[in-house]
């Protein structure tokens, strides 16, 4: 991660403040392919383009701020995951990262399944025609109504998250005359962070049933006894934005240990194992994520080896990447409104969105990059903080970033890698309207989620 102190003084900064920045990049105009969507480049005039369309045109046609999504890149990444895991495994895209009906159709066409975790996500998936048997339903507190809809629709699996839910789903399925396919989500005692994992008591969280102390084994015992349930496997999700595979290794080892205990106790070999999502992406040039084929190879090897050691047939593996599919495929396009230089500190660049379209910086101290995209510039780098228009000083989009010193109101800047958890976590704070998602492909742009309007806001406010 790029968190070193800055060595040499750029403009505006003889004494630089504490920050998360490293040295300014050698070329401020470069758009590093690691953090930008695949088809992003610059045209002959220096204007950034995506899918063959320049960002000035996109801003004129769709306004700013806007999430601009590279459809070809999305499809390519989805396909890469699908191909990497082959036909003996399933890839469930985690809809929480970003879900819309267009996305559901792309996933369907590219052969992926879908993980949903609320009635709203389920409704979106079904309304776009995703076959129910390709949907997994997650959540630590699914309502009775949500469970009923999922069972009636015939979802491929419900991932059970508590003892109460085991009984609840069994009861609902039975009363509907169904036998619902389910997995049990367990916590394996591994917490995975970006570059590390801490093998401590990480059962201390709201998701899953702990393996430790035999609780997960007891959950399996109960699920196997209930007629409304067909227990097909065990699920484990260890965290988010993970680069290091060792957390998965420990998780697979422990889940396979449970499969072995189940075989020994019940004489049943569960046919599936789901290792969740959480694979990291590059938000800045300092991040170095693994490719889907490397991840698939590593996970398959780990599970196969563990199963051989336990003398079990290797179960069908599934994974649930969200961020790693959609994250890198979109950027947020903003117009600069004000540029405020604070002597000896930094320059505050205010854009026309902010924490309502990207809460991740405020919430997780997430790092992003940013670039001037409506033109190139030969001006010196200046240290900036890109902030939004909300009435809150924590309204920061990019905490520390270098932009050209001639940046001015009216310039367009863009923040890459905002495809995951930005639109899906967007809010109406200050009654700021949520931006549209514009999909771009082969010289054509179309709105897949439209911009919110003041009428939308007022419609909910029934007086
Ligand atoms: N599967 C399960 C069971 C999950 O809980 C999650 C994420 C995923 C898959 C997908 O994880 P991904 O591959 O996208 O990392 N809002 C946070 C992330 C929360 C993720 C919650 N669960 C963020 O903005 O980073």
pLDDT tens sequence across 401-421: 999 999 999 999 999 999 999
**38 or 189, which is more confident?**
38
Residue 194 scores a pLDDT above 80: no
Same domain, 316 and 433: no
Number of domains in the chain: 2
CB of 184 closer than 8 Å to CB of 219: yes
The whole-angstrom separation of Cα 204 and Cα 73 is 37
Same domain, 216 and 341: no
Length of the chain: 463
The whole-angstrom separation of Cα 245 and Cα 197 is 9
Side-chain-side CA neighbours of 232 within 13 Å: the count stands at: 16
pTM for this predicted structure? 0.94
Question: Where does 275-329 have alpha helices with state H?
Answer: 292-309, 323-326
Asked if residue 245 belongs to a domain, the reply is yes
CATH of the domain at 446: 2.40.37.10
Same domain, 186 and 269: yes
Residue 13 scores a pLDDT above 60: no
Q: How far is the CA of 278 from the centre of ligand 1 (A)?
A: 6
CB atoms within 10 A of CB 86: 11
| 413, β-bridge pairs | 334, 372
Asked if residue 346 belongs to a domain, the reply is yes
Q: Tell me which of 269, 290, 321 is where a domain ends.
A: 321
Whole domain around residue 413: which residue ranges? 13-70+328-460
Q: What value does the mean pLDDT take over residues 271-282?
A: 96
pLDDT digits (tens, 9 = 90+) for 362-401: 999 999 999 999 999 999 999 999 999 999 999 999 999 9
Q: How far is the CA of 111 from the centre of ligand 1 (A)?
A: 21
Among 244, 239, 246, CA closest to 195: 244
Same domain, 196 and 305: yes
Structural element, H or E, at residue 46: none
CB of 31 closer than 8 Å to CB of 17: no
Q: Is 187 in the pocket of ligand 1 (CB under 6 A)?
A: no
pLDDT digits (tens, 9 = 90+) for 239-248: 999 998 999 9
Q: Is 419 in the pocket of ligand 1 (CB under 6 A)?
A: no
The protein residue with its alpha carbon nearest to ligand 1, atom 17, reads 421
* pLDDT at residue 192, rounded to an integer: 66
CATH of the domain at 164: 3.20.20.10
Q: Tell me which of 304, 321, 338 is where a domain ends.
A: 321
Same domain, 249 and 337: no
Same domain, 143 and 52: no
CB of 182 closer than 8 Å to CB of 230: yes
Here the tokens at position 2 are 């790029």
The whole-angstrom separation of Cα 69 and Cα 76 is 13
Burial class (CB in 10 A: 0-12, 13-18, 19+), 369: buried
Positive/negative CA dihedral, 7, 9, 15, 20: negative
Q: How far is the CA of 254 from the centre of ligand 1 (A)?
A: 21
Burial class (CB in 10 A: 0-12, 13-18, 19+), 63: middle
Same domain, 290 and 238: yes
The whole-angstrom separation of Cα 255 and Cα 302 is 11
* pLDDT at residue 302, rounded to an integer: 95
Classify residue 279 by its DSSP letter: B
Here the tokens at position 99 are 């879900």
Q: What value does the mean pLDDT take over residues 292-313?
A: 96
Q: Is 92 in the pocket of ligand 1 (CB under 6 A)?
A: no
- Choose one of 77, 93, 96, 113 to mutate for the ligand 1 pocket test, by most ligand atoms within 8 angstroms of C-beta: 96
Same domain, 316 and 428: no
Dihedral-angle region of residue 302 (phi above 0 means left; psi in -120 to 50 means alpha; beta otherwise) = alpha
- Choose one of 94, 121, 141 to mutate for the ligand 1 pocket test, by most ligand atoms within 8 angstroms of C-beta: 94
Among 362, 288, 274, CA closest to 85: 274
- Shortest-distance atom of ligand 1 to CA 320: 9
* pLDDT at residue 11, rounded to an integer: 44
Q: How far is the CA of 122 from the centre of ligand 1 (A)?
A: 17
Q: Is 391 a catalytic residue?
A: yes
Q: How far is the CA of 116 from the centre of ligand 1 (A)?
A: 11
The protein residue with its alpha carbon nearest to ligand 1, atom 24, reads 421
Asked if residue 232 belongs to a domain, the reply is yes
For 204, phi then psi, to 5°, come to -80, 70
Same domain, 255 and 378: no
> How much of the chain, in percent, has pLDDT values that exceed 90?
88
* pLDDT at residue 134, rounded to an integer: 98
Same domain, 222 and 281: yes
Q: What value does the mean pLDDT take over residues 190-207?
A: 61
Sheet containing strand 53-54, strands side by side: 41-42, 48-50, 53-54
Q: Is 240 in the pocket of ligand 1 (CB under 6 A)?
A: yes
| 402, β-bridge pairs | 383
Q: Tell me which of 268, 294, 321 is where a domain ends.
A: 321
Same domain, 166 and 265: yes
Here the tokens at position 178 are 């169904």
Q: Is 279 in the pocket of ligand 1 (CB under 6 A)?
A: yes
Q: Is 138 in the pocket of ligand 1 (CB under 6 A)?
A: yes
Which residue among the candidates 117, 307, 391, 422 is catalytic per the annotation? 391
CB of 336 closer than 8 Å to CB of 415: no
Same domain, 316 and 332: no
Q: Tell me the pLDDT of the chain averaged across its residues.
A: 93
Q: How far is the CA of 189 from the centre of ligand 1 (A)?
A: 18
CB of 369 closer than 8 Å to CB of 439: no
The whole-angstrom separation of Cα 148 and Cα 134 is 17
């Amino acid at each position: 991660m790029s968190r070193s102190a800055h060595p040499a003084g750029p403009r505006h900064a003889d004494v630089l403040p504490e920050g998360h920045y490293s040295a300014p990049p050698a070329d401020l105009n470069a758009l590093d392919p690691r953090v930008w969507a695949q088809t992003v480049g610059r045209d002959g005039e220096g204007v950034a383009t995506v899918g063959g369309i320049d960002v000035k045109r996109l801003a004129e046609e769709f306004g700013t701020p806007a999430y601009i999504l590279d459809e070809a890149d999305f499809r390519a990444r989805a396909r890469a995951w699908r191909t990497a895991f082959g036909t003996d495994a399933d890839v469930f895209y985690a809809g929480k990262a970003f879900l819309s009906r267009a996305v559901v159709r792309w996933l369907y066409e590219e052969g992926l399944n879908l993980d949903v975790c609320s009635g709203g996500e389920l409704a979106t998936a079904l309304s776009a025609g995703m076959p129910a048997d390709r949907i997994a339903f997650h959540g630590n507190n699914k309502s009775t109504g949500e469970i009923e809809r999922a069972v009636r629709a015939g979802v491929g699996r419900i991932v059970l998250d508590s003892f109460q839910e085991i009984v609840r789903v069994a009861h609902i399925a039975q009363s509907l005359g169904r036998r619902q396919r389910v997995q049990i989500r367990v916590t394996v005692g591994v917490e995975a962070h970006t570059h590390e994992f801490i093998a401590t008591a990480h059962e201390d969280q709201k998701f899953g049933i702990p393996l430790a102390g035999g609780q997960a084994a007891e959950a399996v015992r109960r699920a196997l006894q209930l007629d409304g349930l067909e227990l097909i496997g065990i699920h484990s999700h260890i965290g988010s934005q993970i680069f290091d595979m060792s957390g998965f290794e420990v998780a697979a080892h422990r889940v396979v240990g449970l499969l072995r205990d189940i075989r020994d106790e019940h004489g049943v070999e569960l046919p599936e194992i789901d290792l969740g999502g959480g694979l990291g992406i590059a938000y800045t040039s300092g991040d170095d994520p693994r490719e889907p084929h490397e991840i698939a190879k590593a996970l398959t090897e780990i599970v196969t080896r563990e199963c051989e050691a336990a003398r079990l047939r290797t179960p069908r593996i599934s994974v649930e990447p969200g961020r790693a599919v959609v994250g890198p495929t979109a950027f947020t396009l903003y117009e600069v409104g004000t540029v405020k230089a604070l002597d000896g500190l930094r320059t505050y660049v205010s854009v026309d969105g902010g924490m309502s379209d990207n809460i991740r910086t405020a919430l997780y101290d997430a790092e992003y990059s940013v670039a001037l995209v409506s033109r190139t510039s030969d001006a010196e780098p200046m240290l900036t903080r890109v902030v939004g228009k909300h009435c809150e000083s924590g309204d920061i989009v990019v905490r520390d970033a270098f932009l050209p010193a001639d940046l001015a109101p009216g310039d367009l800047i863009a923040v890459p890698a905002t495809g995951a958890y930005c639109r899906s976590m967007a809010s109406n704070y200050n009654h700021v309207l949520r931006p549209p998602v514009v999909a771009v492909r082969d010289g054509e742009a179309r709105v897949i989620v439209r911009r919110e309007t003041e009428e939308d806001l007022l419609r909910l406010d029934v007086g």
